[in-house]
């Protein structure tokens, strides 16, 4: 949150003629799994809804996410944001795994400006989002989200604009595409 990942992905997709998938993927997976509470719990990055899906709902949801992510990748010309794509598509030919990072202070400032909230509130949102993403991957996929071996490219956007990050992603993607 706040690392410009969505913005860079959108710009890279536009330049490459790709489609971007993120939250709509969750909704599609929830419909497939018949587990809307599990999907809502994953959407609730700050844990404000207090949802506790059953283990069966969670398993069904995760299997549906795996199915949707794999089907999208097989279609090609897509950018998938989140949803453990770095794990689900780890061995998928041509998949480029990018991690966007930035120092907490910079991310919080961006969030505060974008959402019109105080800096302490933005910092708390970024920290909660980080914690939930980290826990999601550890709990459901037994991986560390910061494991550098999961990614082909890590971009620190502390001194990069979304446009510059998108250009780098496009360059790397074109190498993968051939």
Asked if 22 contacts 128 with a C-beta cutoff of 8 angstroms, the reply is no
CB pairs under 8 A, 24+ apart, for 144-150?
Answer: 150/86, 150/87, 150/90, 150/97, 150/99
Number of domains in the chain: 1
Question: What is the CATH number for 85?
Answer: 3.40.50.300
Query: CA Rg, the chain, in Å?
Result: 16
The CA-based angle 67-47-139, given to 5 degrees, is: 50
Residue with tokens 């051939």: 178
Domain that holds residue 109: 5-177
pTM reported for the whole predicted model: 0.87
**What is the biggest distance separating any 2 CA atoms in the chain, rounded to whole angstroms?**
46
Would you state the pLDDT for residue 40?
64
Per-residue tens of pLDDT for the chain, all 178 residues:
999 999 999 999 999 999 999 877 777 776 777 767 676 666 655 556 666 777 888 888 888 889 989 999 999 999 999 889 999 999 999 899 999 999 999 999 999 999 999 999 999 999 999 998 899 899 899 999 999 999 999 999 999 999 999 999 999 999 987 6
């Amino acid at each position: 949150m706040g690392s410009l990942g969505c913005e860079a992905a959108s710009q890279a997709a536009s330049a490459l003629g790709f489609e971007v998938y993120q939250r709509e993927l969750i909704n599609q997976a929830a419909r497939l799994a018949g587990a809307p509470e599990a999907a809502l719990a994953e959407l609730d990055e700050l844990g404000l809804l207090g949802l506790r899906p059953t283990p069966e709902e969670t398993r069904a949801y995760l299997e549906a996410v795996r199915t949707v992510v794999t089907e999208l990748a097989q279609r090609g010309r897509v950018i998938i944001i989140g949803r453990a794509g770095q794990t689900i598509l780890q061995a998928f030919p041509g998949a480029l795994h990018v991690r966007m990072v930035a120092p907490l202070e910079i991310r919080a400032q961006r969030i505060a400006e974008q959402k019109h909230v105080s800096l302490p509130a933005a910092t708390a949102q970024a920290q909660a989002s980080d914690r939930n993403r980290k826990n999601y991957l550890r709990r459901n996929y037994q991986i560390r989200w910061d494991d550098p071996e999961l990614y082909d490219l890590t971009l620190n956007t502390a001194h990069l604009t979304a446009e510059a990050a998108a250009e780098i992603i496009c360059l790397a993607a074109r190498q993968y595409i051939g």
